[in-house]
Amino acid sequence: MQTTPAVPDRAPVGGGHRVLVLAGGLSHEREVSLRSGARVVDALTDAGVDASLRDADAGLVDALRGDPGATVFPVLHGASGEDGAIRAVLELLGVPYVGSGPDACRVAFDKAVAKSVVSGAGVRTPQGLALASSTFRDLGAPTLLDALVDRLGLPLVVKPNRGGSALGASVVRDRDALPAAMVSAYSYSDVALLERYAEGTEVAVTVIDTGAGPTALPAVEIVPDGGFYDYAARYTAGSTEFFAPARLDAAAAELAAECAVTAHRALGLRHLSRSDLVIDDSGVPWFLEVNVAPGMTETSLTPQAILAAGLDLGAVCRDLVEAASMAADRL
């Protein structure tokens, strides 16, 4: 499988074409989204594109109606930004946009459902269970936790079933720490996902498609100082060591690329996605989750993958905008 996409050397989007980069919103990941959005605006501007930043607020619909020639580049993280809601509104208004459609986003944003779909496509994923807070409460938490540990073992990863940036996520190595981990996950989602901790090399694989089909960028290896890639490790400069490309042998790198592309296709994603994987000691990738609006900050994984592929962030963003615009023109 080709792991470096052939991105056409097109001229910058011109003819008065405008791009609105949507960032911010009201999710827990607002500040990260704003940082991502600012970087995308800068990258597009450097690539010769007329780009500006726009918050997802009460004035958004009027702003879009008043700028019918614009294409939207959503860089919204968390709920509404990644669950398909904003994209459904964009489709209602007939506004072209970069990224996956609302139905695909809804499936991908639900981690348990996404794992099931990707597993059905032949990709390995750690055994787990999605547990609603009401079920957890009604069936008796202590007894239920004992049954979960007996079935899944330790260590476990506990995380919100819907959400990003590892907010509310933790690794549980001791049974007594499990109740607090559940409370933390439930503070961000009414469903918690518990899954067996996957041992191995943690990598992220970005997939882009500017019209020639989905292609994986080089995997980025993640080595957090604290051993777990939590929110602080993701967005605090210097707290995590990255290797781009990842320190994988050729066979494992190829399998990781195939896994990410398979997930992208199975979930019906479009233009851009990032799959989080663990590569075990035998070189086999295990799918953890997928992101339909990858972070674009200075410590984010997708920009690192773009650089590792020998590409320019602004050129890739420009080509994604062009792909979205051309698709809209064909409708």
Which residues does the annotation mark as catalytic?
29, 165, 235, 274, 276, 289, 291, 295
Q: Residue 60 — φ and ψ, nearest 5°?
A: -65, -45
Cα→Cα distances 134→131, 138, 141, 296, Å:
8, 6, 10, 35
Classify the C-alpha dihedral 56-45-272-302 as positive or negative: negative
Task: Give the number of other Cβ atoms within 10 Å of residue 63's Cβ.
Answer: 13
Which residue type, as a one-letter code, is found at position 195? E
Q: Give the C-alpha separation, 243 to 35, whole Å.
A: 22
Strands 50-55 and 18-23: parallel
Return the structure tokens found at 72. 């939207």
Q: Give the C-alpha separation, 320 to 331, whole Å.
A: 17
Q: Where do we find the tokens 């090399």? A: 201
Return the structure tokens found at 287. 């799918």
Q: Give the C-alpha separation, 30 to 76, whole Å.
A: 8
Q: Give the C-alpha separation, 329 to 322, whole Å.
A: 10
Q: Give the C-alpha separation, 329 to 203, whole Å.
A: 36
Return the structure tokens found at 314. 């602004």
Q: Where do we find the tokens 């079935």? A: 151
Task: Give the number of other Cβ atoms within 10 Å of residue 194's Cβ.
Answer: 26
Return the structure tokens found at 321. 């905008």
